[in-house]
Structure formats: structure tokens, C-alpha cells
Amino acid sequence: MVEHTTDTIAAIASAPGAAGVGVVRVSGPGAPAIARVLLGRMPQPRHAHFAAFRDGAGELIDRGLLLHFPSPASYTGEHVLELQGHGSAVLLDLLLRRVCELGARLARPGEFTERAFLNGKLDLAQAEAVADLIAARSHAAARAALQSMEGVFSRKVEVLLQSLIALRVHIEAAIDFPEEEIDFLADPAIGQQLQAVRSELAELLREAQRGLRLNDGLRVAIIGRPNAGKSSLLNALAGSDRAIVNAAAGTTRDVLREALSLDGIALELADTAGLRDTDDEVEREGVRRARGELQRADVALLVSDAEHADADLAFLTPLPAEIERVVLINKIDRDGLAPHSEKRGHARWLWASAKTGAGLESLRDHLKHLAGAGSGEGIFSARRRHVTALQQVAAHLDQAAHALAGSRAGELAAEELRQAQRALGEITGSYSSDDLLGAIFGSFCIGK
């Protein structure tokens, strides 16, 4: 194992505030020497030793446990020391100072995990999952982050990477024998292989998007004609009177946002202007923003009613395929309908009333389902940058397919595949820049 660092870092790894136990963590080449001073002898690897932690003058700071994890079998891959004392901010601070006197320096946020990454203990996606696990706001999000930390996501990326490399080898072999290139590239097996990689990628992208929603929350854009009941629905879901409800058509002109938590799953609802052609300048701006909002949403929630539903479906047609569609037939109290739910094509239809609340529980359940809650095996957490990277891979694969199908341009296709491979490698960190690492680890908490 290559150790990239020569200094020894230390931090309080437990949360601030009074607690039963608090932990100071040390990592680096100086850890064994610090352990020897604190314990009075060399600790046995991976054994809990009861120790009296003393300051430089021999004064007792605290009594607690000392554990030594020699390199490389430790979290960071370096020599690691864990000092467990009483969970008092004052005592832990004294203990940390003592460790620094003995040669350690204060760790930066995320520096332990960064060292674990640099020493090959974790890849980048796994390291990010550590932070996501700590920050998880729901059981589902924590479970997903744990899966990513265990390498579920990284292994899928690796499988895809291998398929991509096999395809590249195939095409580059054709380029290396130019006299046979045309025949080689015309081989339908290459096209099929590319298609197979493309569908493997599409599946991974879907899973990553679900993982992203679990992490970041589900973005829902509420759309529909003026007066359909969009603001009323937002208010009913948010339980406040944030949006302005008005019986005159066209009131909600700006985009209103509301952050909700459904059983710990984060939702961001955006109430948009009614989508209709209008001469009113201000309202037209609202319509433009509504369309923008739709482009960045995970879910388009169309609010309509029994009378207008068929016509309103047109609002959903221009949307990208990956946006989930929900059609809410509102005002069932007025129309004497019963709340129910059914799947029609790619959309979920729900009958409800924003006014009485009938049917809204099914809507909440469906939104939770779309956010990835309750789904079982194979769910992993992901970040926006992972999804963006996978989308780049998809674009490069499409370009490669295009190059092959049209002019049998093997060189171009190979170049696209090379870039696809690079974008994929950014997820796990086989390609990464210092800026990226700084941004990722800088957002960690200290001591992790």
C-alpha cells in the first residue's frame, strides 16, 4: 500500500455536545508513537486497552479506551488510533490538544476519508456515500447510501466500463487494419454490442436517478391550466397558505417552491404558472418559467379535472421521457366522483380533491414511491455529478453509434468511446482532478 501522506492528522470524530462517549481519531505515521506515550507501552493491534490519558505535565485528562489499527488494515489505510473518552466537549478538546502536542495536526473536513480514497481503501463514489450516509434524512436514504458505500454502485459502473472497453478494443482493432476496416465496422455484431452497452447504461442511469432522488429529494413541478387547483394542491400538501388561491384565472404568475418531507423523504414542489397561451406580458413570463421548471423536474404533476383532462394531456407531450408523469383529476367533490388511482400508459392517474383532501393520501404515497422509498434490493444512493457523468456517457455512445451507422467512421467512434470511458471513470475517481476532490471532501464534516 502506498501512503501518499507523511503527516499525522487528528480530530474529534464524535458529534459536539454532551454524550456518553466521545472519540478522538488519529491517522498517519505518527499514530503508534502517540499511542505508546498515551498508554505507557505499545498497544496490541486491534485490542481495546483501558488507558489513563494524561497531559504533558502528567495530569489526568480522562480515562478511556485506546485502540490501534496498524496500516494497512484501517479505515484510512494508515496507522490509525482511536481514543474513546467521556463525551465531554472540554475533555475531548484537551485530549485532542494532547495528541497535537505529540505531533499530530488538526484534520481538515473529510481528510480521513480522503486518505482512505488516496490509499485505495474506497473509490470516489464510495467515499461520497460515506458523507451521504452521515447526512441521510430517512431510513430509505441511509439504506441506499450504505449500499453505495458497500460498492454496489461502483461495481455496476465497473461492469459497464468493462463492456465499454471490450467494444473499444473491437473497434480499434478494426482501425488498426485499415484495409479490412470497412468490412470489420460493417459487422452487425459491433452495432449489437454497442446497443447492448447503451441499454446497460440506460438501466444504470435510471437507478442512479432514483438514488439521486433519495439523496437530494424529489423535484415535482405542478402544471396545469389556470384555476385547475394547483395552488390549492400545493397548500394542501404543504399544510399552509403559501400560494395565493384565487378564483380568477391566471393568479399564480411566478414559480412558488415548497420543501416538504414525507416520512423523511424530501420533496421540492414548484407551483408554476398556468400553461396557456396568453397576451399578458407578465403571465407569459410565468409560462416561460413554468416550462423551464419542467425541464429540471423529476416529476410533472398535471392538475386537471374531469372536464378538461383529455385536452390538458397535451401539456405532458413535449416532456423528456425520463420525467415521471402524474395526472391529478382534481375537484372530485364538485363533480361527485370517488377518489381512486390507476396507471394509464406511462402516467399514474389519481382522482382527488385539493379542497376536501380526499385522495391526497394516494398522491403522497405515489410521490414517496417515485422518490425511491420502500424499494428493496439494488437501490443505491447517487449524486448529481454521477447522473451528469452517465448522461455524458450516453451522449458519447449515441455519437459513436451515429459515426458507425453513417460513414463507418471508426476513428470518430473510437474517440467517442474513449470519452465515454473517461466520463464513466470520473464516477469512481479513476479520472479525477484536485478541484473535484477538494469540492467533494471539503463538504464532509471534520473527523470523517
Q: Which is nearer to ligand GDP, 179 or 310 (CB)?
A: 310
- 272 marked among binding-site residues: yes
Among 154, 215, 232, 421, the residue binding ligand GDP under the rule CB under 6 A is 232
User: Which residues 310-339 are close enough to bind ligand GDP by CB under 6 A?
Assistant: 330-331, 333-334
Q: Least distance (Å) from ligand GDP to the CB of residue 258? A: 13
What span, in angstroms and rounded, lies between the C-alpha atoms of 443 and 448? 11
Q: In which residue are the cell numbers 482493432 written?
A: 173
- 271 marked among binding-site residues: yes
Q: Least distance (Å) from ligand GDP to the CB of residue 250? A: 7
Locate 432 and state its grid cell.
Answer: 479525477
- 156 marked among binding-site residues: no
Span near ligand GDP by CB under 6 A; candidates 78-86, 172-180, 225-233, 282-290:
225-233
User: Which residues 205-224 are close enough to bind ligand GDP by CB under 6 A?
Assistant: 224
Q: Least distance (Å) from ligand GDP to the CB of residue 221? A: 13
- 151 marked among binding-site residues: no
What span, in angstroms and rounded, lies between the C-alpha atoms of 213 and 381? 8
Question: Cβ distance 168 to 414 under 8 Å?
Answer: yes
Q: Which is nearer to ligand GDP, 208 or 354 (CB)?
A: 354
Question: Cβ distance 328 to 363 under 8 Å?
Answer: yes
Q: Least distance (Å) from ligand GDP to the CB of residue 308? A: 11
Cβ-proximal residue to ligand GDP, closest one: 229
- 76 marked among binding-site residues: no
Locate 147 and state its grid cell.
Answer: 449500499
Q: Which is nearer to ligand GDP, 198 or 355 (CB)?
A: 355
User: Which residues 241-270 are close enough to bind ligand GDP by CB under 6 A?
Assistant: 245-247, 251-252
Size of the site for ligand GDP (CB under 6 A): 21
CA 378 from chain centre, in angstroms, equals 15
- 93 marked among binding-site residues: no
Residue 353 touching ligand GDP (CB under 6 A): yes
Span near ligand GDP by CB under 6 A; candidates 150-158, 257-265, 347-355, 440-448:
347-355
Span near ligand GDP by CB under 6 A; candidates 22-30, 226-234, 308-316, 369-377:
226-234
Cis peptide before 320 (omega within 30 of 0): no
- 8 marked among binding-site residues: no
Residue 226 touching ligand GDP (CB under 6 A): yes
- 227 marked among binding-site residues: yes
Binding string, 158-187, against ligand GDP, x = CB under 6 A?
Answer: ------------------------------
Residue 227 touching ligand GDP (CB under 6 A): yes
Q: Which is nearer to ligand GDP, 160 or 300 (CB)?
A: 300
- 230 marked among binding-site residues: yes
Among 124, 136, 354, 387, the residue binding ligand GDP under the rule CB under 6 A is 354
Residue 370 touching ligand GDP (CB under 6 A): no
Span near ligand GDP by CB under 6 A; candidates 19-27, 122-130, 353-361, 367-375:
353-361
Q: What is the 3-state secondary structure (H, E, C) of the chain?
A: CCCCCCCCEEEECCCCCCEEEEEEEEECCCHHHHHHHHHCCCCCECCCEEEEEECCCCCEEEEEEEEEECCCCCCCCCCEEEEEEEECHHHHHHHHHHHHHCCCEECCCCHHHHHHHHCCCCCHHHHHHHHHHHHCCCHHHHHHHHHHHCCHHHHHHHHHHHHHHHHHHHHHHHHHCHHHHHHHHHCHHHHHHHHHHHHHHHHHHHHHHHHHHHHHCEEEEEECCCCCCHHHHHHHHHCCCCCCCCCCCCCCCCCEEEEEEECCEEEEEEECCCCCCCCCHHHHHHHHHHHHHHHCCCEEEEEEECCCHHHHHHHHCCCCCCCEEEEEEECHHHHCCCCCEEEECCEEEEECCCCCCCCHHHHHHHHHHHCCCCCCCCCCCCCHHHHHHHHHHHHHHHHHHHHHHCCCCHHHHHHHHHHHHHHHHHHHCCCCCHHHHHHHHHCCCCCC
Q: Nearest CA to 329 among 286, 247, 347, 319?
A: 347
- 176 marked among binding-site residues: no
Q: Least distance (Å) from ligand GDP to the CB of residue 246? A: 5
Q: Which is nearer to ligand GDP, 247 or 321 (CB)?
A: 247
Among 242, 257, 355, 422, the residue binding ligand GDP under the rule CB under 6 A is 355
Q: Which residues belong to the annotated binding site for GTP?
A: 227-232, 271-274
Residues that bind ligand GDP (CB under 6 A): 224, 226-232, 245-247, 251-252, 274, 330-331, 333-334, 353-355
Q: Which residues belong to the annotated binding site?
A: 25, 82, 121, 227-232, 252, 271-274, 448
